[in-house]
Structure 1
Amino acid sequence: MGPDNKFVTRVFNGGLAGNWERGGRFYRGWWQQIDKEDRCKIYINDKPTLGVDFKAFHPNLLSNELGVKLSGDPYDLGKLVLPEVITTKDRQRDYVKLLVLMGINADSDKKAYQAFCNNNRKDKLGQSLTDLQLAKLLKGYIDKHPQFDGVLNTGQALRLMNIDSQIANMVLDHFTNKNIPVLCIHDSFIIEYDKEPELRRILDQATHQVTNSIIDHDIKNVRNTHKGKVTGNIKGYEEPVVVEYHTPIRIDPTSQYLDRKAKFNKWLELSGNYLSE
């Protein structure tokens, strides 16, 4: 990864012709180009980080626009729709999620089904599902969430991406103005571990400002879980109460990292001396 990958730039679809209302997400950061399993290993200023992302962001956003607040897991249909083919609810949930996201991107049923089957060449079961079976699966989703009837498979993605890019822009502006590094991956964000409360607060503020609603978000990192007793003069805590809390999973820096860090600190030292002359 070169130095150019340290910065992101907004990419719009259509530009002036689209009135800057299509796309607009941030791209080109090196952290966007690595496996998601490796993102949890990113350190900023020698501190572990965590990733916060919105839950089912585009379905929630679209449903809010339609006047219905989604609750629970929007991809869990509660029953098997194709029990003779898909035998577990977990597998069905994965397929429903993929099908809905493809439906938000595609502008026709046929394109959504083609995109679904082309998504993972190693998934033989997914590839074997026919258009009729996928239509039945999608109908099961719409039966549970009737507000989406006639809305999916109509090419909503670029418009919704523009909305999440506005939220991301506000988040980046807030932390950049405070000289706090934050890395965005579209509708998810990586920040120093102790900045989580502030990130969540700004996410809520930005989301409400752009959409006039709030969408839940969650932490993706695997963390150490602990339990301890808390007591105090707050109502409900007069007697010790067992609470759960988390700490980050720390990793030891590699020799390559320590070497790059030493070179960077030397560069800062020399740059400071040069600028002061």
Structure 2
Amino acid sequence: MTKTTTPQNDNNLTSDTVVLPQKKQKLGQRSFKHEKRLACQDWWYNNNNAISILPLTYKGNDSLVIPGVIKGRSKKWLETYESLILNLHHVYRVHSDSRCLSILIQKGEQFLVGGRKIIENIVFQLEMSGLIEVKKGCKGYSTKIRFTSSGYKSFSFISVDCVDIDNSQMVFYKDPKGRRIAASEEVAKTVGGDTLRQYQNGLYDSDIRVDGNPISDADKTLFRLFHTKEMIYDGRLQGACWMSMQSSLRDTITINGSPTCEVDIRSTQSTIFYGLVGADLPEDIYSCEILPKGRGDNSYINEINRSLCKRIMLLLLSIEAPIYGGAVDVDALISKIKQSFLDKDRIKEEEMVSLKEWRRHLEKDYKITLDEIILSMMESHKVISKYFGRGSWKNANLHESNILLRVIEYFSSKSEPVLTVHDSFIIGEQYKQELIEVATQAINDELGSSFTSDQVLKVQ
């Protein structure tokens, strides 16, 4: 049972503690912080588990409407219903029950014809029929849905050959309401639209398999998504099924019959900012001088220290803190890092538990606080300090996706498929060395740096 506590003393809060708001609220009201805290404890609200709507259409002969169970009213209703069913089927077929579908009911969806009332009606009918599970969204979180096992079986007649995808749009941006809006063809060309089109066609022509099973064209389709209409932030590639696939499954990918290897960009965000300022990369970005060193049987300490430092560095570059007189408020930044340090939406469960225990151990036995570790990290990396506390992840993602596009353009011109997973590449084993050389050059061209492949790339 969840226990409650007053907010005066939060030193003994546990993971199952819910903090009651200090201000009295009217009956039926809940504070945003209260909602968000509950949401962050729920698997459904972890962004890593959510898949976005794709523009899928049905071209099979069988009706997707279940007589006597699902009742439709109009052509717009039917198109929205079919799109939802196909997306639910796509997510369950590729990921089983390990992923869910994210939909915006209140604001409407880019790829759903119907508006709020139609979407709500369809979701309600599917839930009442036992075909789907639903987790309603709260402020800051979209609604999540997924097929039940019986729901998936009800549509087992859907084959990948009956599902078509509208790939006419390759570049999107988010409007102020968070909806995906397609960029015009002219604008898309300025941010790699033509390169993506050539790349996409090459993927369609390739035989890509996971664990021996062929991947459909719908599963290969991707797009570039920017954070704002100005297209100066983010721009990551999204959509293709391998981008949200578990690493154990990615290891089984074959391209045109050849086994593959995966090459990652090391410490991507930090590497990007070190390159942009023209500084040499430290031997290990995720290290801290004041932390204890492990030797022999205690060597595991070095691994957990690295995990701790990596978490802090990512937060330094992702969090937005108040700025006064052009300078970031360091106290506010540290406070925000401590608040987000164990956010379940940003960190894996097993890593969260180990970091939580190690932090307590450091404070109790070594008298080293998290504040001191953060300040030490900031001092060690002061050469890129202008990026701390300014939400710089959006800038990093833009450079990262530009690097990927450079690599994609090279291999597309040679008709050699390469798959991307945010900051890594998957390619046939025979092209591994060529990929390493091309990716290193792409990084240096994008950042104006002169890093070596050993400094910036890691072969899985």
Under a length normalisation based on structure 2, what TM-score does the superposition of the two structures give? 0.43
SS in 2 for 1:64: helix
Structure 1 residues 118-133: aligned runs within 5 Å = 118=343, 119-122=347-350, 123-127=352-356, 129=359, 133=369
Moved more, 25-34 or 172-181: 172-181
Structure 1 residues 28-107: aligned runs within 5 Å = 28-80=239-291, 88-107=301-320
- Corresponding residue for 1:151? 387
The answer to whether the aligner puts 1:138 opposite 2:374 as a matched pair is yes
1:211 alignment partner AA: L
- Corresponding residue for 2:227? 13
Please give the alpha-carbon distance, in whole angstroms, between the structure 2 residues aligned to 1:98 and 1:25: 21
Residue 408 of structure 2, aligned match among 172, 189, 193: 172
Structure 1 residues 223-262: aligned runs within 5 Å = none
SS in 2 for 1:88: helix
CA deviation string 1:112-165 (max 9, x = no partner): 3333211344433534759x9332211222232222445322210101110111
Distance 1:125 1:190, change over 3 A: closer
SS in 2 for 1:24: strand
CA contact (8 A) 1:58 1:160 kept: yes
CA contact (8 A) 1:172 1:182 kept: yes
Q: Give the deviation of 1:63 after TM superposition.
A: 2.0
Q: Give the deviation of 1:98 after TM superposition.
A: 1.2
SS in 1 for 2:287: coil
Please give the alpha-carbon distance, in whole angstroms, between the structure 1 residues aligned to 2:427 and 2:434: 10
Higher relative contact order (CA 8 A, sep 6+): 1
Q: Give the deviation of 1:82 after TM superposition.
A: 11
Q: Give the deviation of 1:79 after TM superposition.
A: 4.5
Distance 1:214 1:42, change over 3 A: farther
2:411 alignment partner AA: F
Please give the alpha-carbon distance, in whole angstroms, between the structure 2 residues aligned to 1:100 and 1:88: 18
Please give the alpha-carbon distance, in whole angstroms, between the structure 2 residues aligned to 1:114 and 1:178: 48
Distance 1:146 1:205, change over 3 A: same
Q: Give the deviation of 1:81 after TM superposition.
A: 6.2
Under a length normalisation based on structure 1, what TM-score does the superposition of the two structures give? 0.69
Q: Give the deviation of 1:185 after TM superposition.
A: 0.9
SS in 1 for 2:291: coil
CA contact (8 A) 2:260 2:429 kept: yes
SS in 1 for 2:388: coil
Structure of higher CA gyration radius: 2
Structure 1 residues 178-193: aligned runs within 5 Å = 178-193=414-429
CA contact (8 A) 2:291 2:305 kept: yes
CA deviation string 1:187-244 (max 9, x = no partner): 21000001012212221222222211144333443xxxxxxxxxxxxxxxxxxxxxxx
CA deviation string 1:19-61 (max 9, x = no partner): 2110111001111111123212211111111111111121122
- Corresponding residue for 1:275? none
CA deviation string 1:68-113 (max 9, x = no partner): 2113111122451699xxx922211111001111221111324433
Distance 1:40 1:125, change over 3 A: closer
Please give the alpha-carbon distance, in whole angstroms, between the structure 1 residues aligned to 2:252 and 2:222: 20
CA contact (8 A) 1:81 1:137 kept: no
- Corresponding residue for 2:41? none
SS in 2 for 1:181: coil
Please give the alpha-carbon distance, in whole angstroms, between the structure 1 residues aligned to 2:253 and 2:417: 12
Please give the alpha-carbon distance, in whole angstroms, between the structure 2 residues aligned to 1:201 and 1:124: 39
Residue ranges of structure 2 left out of the alignment (5+ in a row): 1-93, 95-215, 295-299, 322-332, 361-367
CA contact (8 A) 1:8 1:27 kept: yes
Please give the alpha-carbon distance, in whole angstroms, between the structure 2 residues aligned to 1:181 and 1:175: 6
SS in 1 for 2:261: strand
Aligned-residue CA RMSD in angstroms? 2.6
Paired residues in the alignment total: 215
CA contact (8 A) 2:289 2:376 kept: no
Please give the alpha-carbon distance, in whole angstroms, between the structure 1 residues aligned to 2:315 and 2:275: 19
1:187 alignment partner AA: D
- Corresponding residue for 1:254? none
SS in 1 for 2:390: coil
SS in 2 for 1:204: helix
Please give the alpha-carbon distance, in whole angstroms, between the structure 2 residues aligned to 1:79 and 1:47: 47
- Corresponding residue for 1:246? none
